[in-house]
Structure 1
């Protein structure tokens, strides 16, 4: 009986494809299990990732990384206000994070629901940040309370200095 090399290659390709698909599925499930705030991740991926990039790593000159400061902010009242004001009202003006300057105009997301904004804040604080000791989850009520005091993006930027002092930076 003659053995066909051509069919062996076809079979090998199918086996390899199934192995890759299985690995991707298992890897995807493992990653999904690490995400505490999945609704927030969906929002982040649709609204925030274009500037802040996947995993919140930031984009030089445009949008700062979200992998450390938000977790530290969330453990202090002034910092929690800063995070909430920023997503509600946007922020513009130059800021420095880790010796890099960012001069951008973050848009306001006040058209989103209080619950959606709380979800995305929780995703950023608890799923993207390694340092969130003492932070408690944001609630829709937290966002609603800040919504009652609207401000422009320049004022949000000014408040950032107060928030940084509150966390010792």
Structure 2
């Protein structure tokens, strides 16, 4: 290998390392923000994501699966924006709860970061990503908690939700 080729390889390795560090920093920052927002807004009820059997539905390992379709992503944004009332049946367990809307408390970016964080907690790779612009589009169409529950029932009939 010539001197020029060795230098070129060294420069490319350095550029790759810098690029990788920038990407990891961005992912960590976004993941950290999503986790922090989840913890302060959702973790009070959903705890670490496992919920409380029969009381509060789990979210870990479910959001990524629900978000695997455009309709599922839309539904999840509706849940955070508008809230949701039970009863729900999840993995054979009945939940009868009331989740408040976060429309007035969280920005589009905050909701997107929470949902993206939760999507990374499942097995789907690459994990679905939520964008603030998509949340803003859904925010423009308010729904009642009853409407969101009905949306879930319709989606569940088409392709069962976890």
| Structure 1 length-normalised TM | 0.73
Residues 66 and 72 in structure 2, CA contact (< 8 A), matched pair in contact too: yes
Cα root mean square deviation, aligned = 2.0
Deviation readout 1:52-95 (Å, 9 max, x if unpaired): 111x0111222111123211111101100110000000000200
Using the TM superposition, give the Cα deviation of residue 165 of structure 1 relative to its aligned residue in structure 2, in angstroms: 3.9
Q: Distance in 2 between matches of 1:118 and 1:34?
A: 15
Q: Which runs of 4+ in 1 moved over 4 A?
A: 33-36
Determine helix, strand or coil for the equivalent of 1:96.
Answer: strand
Q: Distance in 1 between matches of 2:69 and 2:153?
A: 14
Residues 43 and 120 in structure 1, CA contact (< 8 A), matched pair in contact too: yes
Further displaced range: 158-167 or 115-124: 158-167
Q: Which ranges of structure 1 fall in alignment gaps of 5 or more residues?
A: 1-32
The residue that corresponds to 1:101 in the other structure is 94
> How do residues 75-94 of structure 1 correspond to structure 2 at under 5 angstroms?
75-94=68-87
1:149 aligns with 2:141: yes
Q: Distance in 1 between matches of 2:46 and 2:61?
A: 13
> How do residues 30-49 of structure 1 correspond to structure 2 at under 5 angstroms?
37-49=31-43
Q: Which ranges of structure 2 fall in alignment gaps of 5 or more residues?
A: 1-26
The residue that corresponds to 2:118 in the other structure is 124
Q: 1:166–1:77: structure 2 CA closer, same or farther, 3 Å change rule?
A: farther
Q: Distance in 1 between matches of 2:47 and 2:160?
A: 27
> Among 149, 154, 160, which residue is 2:152 paired with?
160
| Matched residues, number | 134
| Structure 2 length-normalised TM | 0.75
1:137 aligns with 2:129: yes
